[in-house]
Amino acid sequence: MLSVKKITLDYELSLSGVDNFPVIGWEIASDQQSVKQICYQLQVSHDKYFDVILFDSGLINSDASANVNINDILLHPSTRYFVRVRINDNHGEESPWSAVAEFITGMMDTPWSGDFISAENSADKDNSKVTLVRKPFSLNKGSAVASAYLHVSALGLYQFYLNGQKVGDDVLTPGWTSYHHHLLYQTYDLSEQLQRDDNVIGAELAAGWFKGDMGFTRDRNYYGEQTALICQLVIHYQDGTQQIVVTDDSWHGEDSPILFSEIYDGEICDASLEREGWNNTGYDASYWRPVSLIPYDKKVLTAQSACKVKKIAALEPVAIITTAQGDTVIDFGQNLSGWVEFKVSGKLGDKVILRHFETLDAEGNVYLDNLRSAKQRVEYVLKGDAEEVYHPQFTYQGFRYVKVESYPGKILPENFKALVLHSDMAHTGHFNCSNEDLNQLHHNILWGLKGNFVDVPTDCPQRDERLGWTGDAQIFCRTASYLMHTRNFFAKWLRDLRHDQTPEGGVPHVVPDILTGHCANDINLAAGGTHSAAAWADAAVINPWTMYLMYGDTRILENQYQSMKGWVDFMLTHSENLIWRYKLQFGDWVALDAKEGSYFGATPTDLVCTAYFAHSTELFSRAAKALNRTEDFERYSALHQQIVQRFQDEFFTPSGRLAARTQTAHILALYFNLVPEPFRERTVNTLVELLREHDGHLVTGFVGTPYFCHALSQNGREKEAWELLLKEDFPSWLYQVKAGATTIWEHWDGLKPDGTMWSADMNSFNHYAYGAVGEWLYRSVAGIEADVDEPGFKHVIIEPTIGGGLSFVDATYQSIYGEIAVGWKVLDERVTLNVTVPHNTHATIKLSSLGELLSAQDVDFKQQGTSGVANVGSGNYTVEYLRA
Ligand code: BGC
């Protein structure tokens, strides 16, 4: 039977706060094979029963079941809409109407009637206290409430309350953006929560990223000096009238019992100062002070419909340890980002003090040094109730361990929980195989993602940094997008990237950019500037392109088009005869072939810069093609050819030796297709030689590592790629696993074989960058590969790389069309391959090392030598063969 399994809006199941009609997609279910959609019909209504139809597409002959746009419907602000679809397929079946998807519009073009209001004054500039603001109001008499939508944002962080209850389950709102250009507001449905007569709304406000103490140079007030709230509560009554409650000078403010809260340093709360019931009716706030109005450009406010930070999971302690030095430490068994929630009983004035950290030192003692100046400290002063429960709210910590510096009573595991925070994204990738270490590596990569996708893709979540380093986000983008649904996460961040670009198209090292103008104390940045490093700045092109590849999303290419072009043009402008470099370059950052004590790997800067210049130019030309911008396509694809030629002239000797004899130089040349065809074999051989010189180990940094396995396996060296992946001694991915890592480390030698550590000045144990090998697990080991010509996995290329001595691999990727599954089993030389291809897509299955085909029902393989190729429609397939 044909049905629509799931309908999505902007790739989510529901949205709250949109300014434009979302793109629509749906997943098809059927018990048939080779299902193709022939036509669809979409309807939009204000009510979930579709009594009144606002829009009906009629039957549209189309096979599009993703990225479908409806343009001819006029949306109204603060309004709920429902969408449903039905389809017909190539087997003559017709689906019933799908379940409904729904969304609420944001403010759209409605002006904000209220102002930003603050309970702070100019003397609070350097203050990290939390303040409260509140306002009682009554509903209009007469008619009942039909709907009530709240639009709210803040300068700083906020938590909003209605009649004593927190509104929504988002945390760290409104998130971190390039606030001067782009400040998100959130939209919540309060229709059911308003009381008939009197109501109170209020908020807590904290410094957060807006005015807090941020960056490794520990500056503050990057965007402003006072926290402030803005909101607009739009109440529609059933008689058609409307009431609007906004932030204005009728609100009152007061200090909160949270005396201090900062992203890096943690939180101090004195519960004895709690103003019980402050956010509810019946509270006497006559002593509160009037708020002040803060001038701020309201035009920068934009709706955030999804992908907000939430409490995603709670972990129990795995052990409570007493260290050699006598400290009591709670071990949560997993490096993560979030909060510790604790229960405590004691007397008024008793304290709980927690220090959060990542790892124990070689003697098993508390190790805080790699946090640098970040305190990661939470202090709670008890009010003396029977049982008090607390977690911080306007900070977050990166930790596995917690040192309990003070706690009244016995420290019992049941009184502590680690709340895992990250941006709310659906899990899309699953990987399981017969090698447990590889499974743990996959786990560590996933947790690296979780720990660092806290609203912004950060380099690390624990030390005084946690910045949106563009290079890290670039190299990890594809891996992240196999693991989780990153589209809306990256769309938000890329918007900031384009806002923060220099007028000339230069791309900041970190986005949101808080380094420019704030790094006099950093020798490298002060001298070399804060933008435009190869591999870092290329996030401007590679990340939107990756979104296109993974989701078939042209909107992100449209939105980022000028930004992408700006970056390519920047490189062109700063190149000399198409070889470029510019001020500070990170090169093959933290590679092991760096000189003693240096972070900069041995691969020459101009080679790295020019390789990325070629790569980004090529991707940009493809983006131009995808958007039918023929002139740009022609211009930039010609430019790409010229850069490749220059690269070859400059870096290859006439006999085919790549001038820079480093692993990374060879990887880039191969993976970015910069090798003259006659020299390919020599280049691959030299790469293998360079591996052997290090006893099969990599010595690569941020630039070479992500593509190492690809560069080998795409050039017939699958065996070497597997060996590299499965290496267990230092330096290698599994070395970390064997050392007990639960996330990915910043350095191959973060923890050295002799138990000592890399210098504490830069030694994160939760840095996703080297987790970029994750894409090799999906794209090559499982072999779930996207096709540039039919992106978003409309056409799936399935080409598993069987090897590594594994007896089985099971991997799935939840594409926008549905689940793609690849499982392979090997027994002696007999391989069983199971494949699932989602409906309304098709796949090409490619087998290498094909000896004899044993069975392949419904799969028509064309065999040539030892390779086999078959095209299949949707469905489940099993192929059995003997390996050559
Ligand atoms: C960060 C890196 C980043 C690098 C750039 C470090 O401090 O943690 O991941 O990309 O600086 O130099």
Which tokens belong to 515?
A: 């380094």
* Interval between CA 301 and ligand 1 midpoint (Å): 30
CATH architecture type of domain 795-883 = Sandwich (2.60)
Averaged over 756-772, what is the pLDDT? 93
For residues 617 and 567, the answer to whether their CB atoms sit within 8 Å is no
Nearest CA to ligand 1 atom 1: 459
Q: What is the pLDDT of residue 403?
A: 98
Task: State the pLDDT confidence band at 98, using cuts at 50, 70 and 90.
Answer: very high
pLDDT in the model for residue 282: 95
* Pocket around ligand 1 at a 6 A CB cut-off: 459-460, 465, 469, 471-472, 586, 589, 762, 769
- 179 Cα: distance to centroid of ligand 1 (angstroms): 23
pLDDT at residue 135, as a whole number: 98
Residue 103's DSSP bridge partners are: 15, 81
C-beta of residue 683 within 8 angstroms of C-beta of residue 642 = no
Ligand 1 centroid to Cα of residue 458, in Å, is 10
For tokens 């203050």, name the residue: 127
Atom of ligand 1 nearest to the CA of 764: 8
Can you give the pLDDT at residue 448?
98
Report yes or no: 745 and 764 within 8 Å, Cβ to Cβ.
yes
Residue 144 per-residue DSSP state: P
Taking Cα atoms as reference points, which of 233, 243, 247, 231 lies closest to residue 141?
243
606 alpha carbon – ligand 1 mean position (Å)? 20
- CATH fourth-level superfamily of 3-105: Immunoglobulins (2.60.40.10)
**CATH topology for 485-651?**
Glycosyltransferase (1.50.10)
Question: Atom 11 of ligand 1 has which residue's CA nearest to it?
Answer: 469
Whole-number pLDDT of residue 571: 98
Atom 4 (ligand 1) nearest CA: 469
Query: b or e along 295-323 (b: 16 or more beta carbons within 10 Å of the residue's beta carbon)?
Result: ebebebbbbbbbbbbbbeeebebeebbeb
Indicate the pLDDT class of residue 382, thresholds 50, 70 and 90: very high
Mean pLDDT of 186-205: 96
Residue 386 pLDDT > 90: no
Please choose from 216, 372, 589, 766 the residue to mutate so as to test ligand 1's pocket, defined by most ligand atoms within 8 A of CB: 589
**What pLDDT, in 10s, does the model give residues 514-553?**
999 998 888 889 889 999 999 999 999 999 999 999 999 9
- Nearest ligand 1 atom, CA 762: 7
From 735, 769, 728, select the one nearest 751 (Cα to Cα): 735
Ligand 1 centroid to Cα of residue 714, in Å, is 29
pLDDT value for 792: 98
Is the pLDDT at 217 greater than 90? The verdict is: no
- Residue 202 to residues 199, 248, 277, 591, 858: CA-CA distances in angstroms? 10, 12, 11, 51, 63
Q: What is the best residue among 371, 472, 476 to mutate for testing ligand 1's pocket, by most ligand atoms within 8 Å of CB?
A: 472
Instruction: Flag whether pLDDT at 37 surpasses 90.
Output: yes
Going through 767-841 in order, the beta strands assigned E by DSSP cover 784-786, 795-798, 808-815, 818-827, 830-837
- Closest C-alpha to 575, from 532, 540, 544, 542: 532
Dihedral sign, Cα of residue 789, residue 793, residue 795, residue 801: positive
Residue 16 has pLDDT above 90, yes or no: yes
Domain 116-305: homologous superfamily in CATH: Galactose-binding domain-like (2.60.120.260)
Whether 63 shows a pLDDT value over 90: the answer reads: yes
pLDDT interval class at 410 (50, 70, 90): very high
What is the Å distance from ligand 1's center to 175 Cα?
22
Mean pLDDT, rounded, of the chain: 97
Q: Which CATH superfamily is domain 311-423 in?
A: Galactose-binding domain-like (2.60.120.260)
508 confidence band (pLDDT: 50, 70, 90): very high
Return d(Cα 698, Cα 718) in angstroms, integer. Answer: 16
Residue entry with tokens 């993976």: 671
Q: Which of 452, 459, 744 to mutate to test the pocket of ligand 1 (most atoms within 8 A of CB)?
A: 459
Confidence band for 86, pLDDT divided at 50, 70 and 90: very high
Percent of the chain with pLDDT over 90: 95
**Whose alpha carbon is nearest atom 3 of ligand 1?**
469
The domains of the chain are located at 3-105, 116-305, 311-423, 485-651, 795-883
How far is the centre of ligand 1, averaged over its atoms, from the C-alpha of 274 (Å)?
40
> Alpha-carbon distance 430 to 508, whole Å?
33
Q: How far is the CA of 437 from the centre of ligand 1 (A)?
A: 27
Q: Whose CA is nearest to atom 7 of ligand 1?
A: 762
- The answer, yes or no, to whether residue 186 has pLDDT greater than 90, is yes
Mean pLDDT of 183-204: 96
pTM: 0.98
- The atom number, within ligand 1, closest to the CA of 460 reads 8
Kindly give the number of the ligand 1 atom that is closest to the alpha carbon of 469: 10
Q: Give the Cα separation of 448 and 745 in Å (integer).
A: 9
Cα–Cα distance between 437 and 360 in angstroms, integer?
22
Has residue 755 got a pLDDT over 90?
Answer: no
Smallest CA separation from ligand 1 atom 5, residue:
586
- For ligand 1, the distance from its centroid to the CA atom of residue 550, given in whole angstroms, is 26
C-alpha of residue 612 to centroid of ligand 1, in Å? 18
Q: Give pLDDT tens digits for 789-805.
A: 999 999 999 999 999 99
Task: Provide CB contacts within 8 A for 322, sequence distance 6+.
Answer: 328, 329
Express each pLDDT in 130-144 by its tens digit. Answer: 999 999 999 998 899
Whole-number pLDDT of residue 521: 83
Percent of the residues in the chain that have a pLDDT greater than 70, as a whole number: 100
pLDDT at site 523? 85
Nearest-atom index, ligand 1, CA of 216 = 7
* Structure-token pair, residue 31: 């018990």
Sign of CA dihedral 189, 192, 196, 201: negative
What residue owns the CA closest to ligand 1's atom 8?
459
Average pLDDT, stretch 418-431?
98
174 alpha carbon to ligand 1 midpoint, in Å? 25
Which one of 452, 469, 705 would you pick to mutate in the ligand 1 pocket, going by the greatest count of ligand atoms within 8 A of its CB? 469
Closest atom of ligand 1 to 769 CA is: 9
pLDDT at 598: 86
Q: Is 155 helix (H, G, I), strand (E, B) or coil?
A: strand
Neighbours of 249 (CB within 10 A): 12
Contacts of 244 (CB under 8 A, 6+ apart): 113, 232, 233, 234, 235
**Which of 780, 814, 818 lies closest to 799, judged by CA?**
780
User: What positions carry a catalytic annotation?
Assistant: 465, 746
Instruction: Give DSSP secondary structure letters for 464-528.
Output: S----BHHHHHHHHHHHHHHB--HHHHHHHHHHHHHHS-TTS--BSBSS---TT--TT-HHHHHH
Instruction: Return the ligand 1 atom nearest residue 767 CA.
Output: 9
Q: What is the pLDDT of residues 700-737, one digit of tens each?
A: 999 999 999 999 999 999 999 999 999 999 999 999 99
Which candidate, 740, 748, 753, places its Cα nearest to that of 358?
740
| Average pLDDT, integer, range 831-835 | 98
Q: CATH topology of 116-305 equal to that of 311-423? A: yes
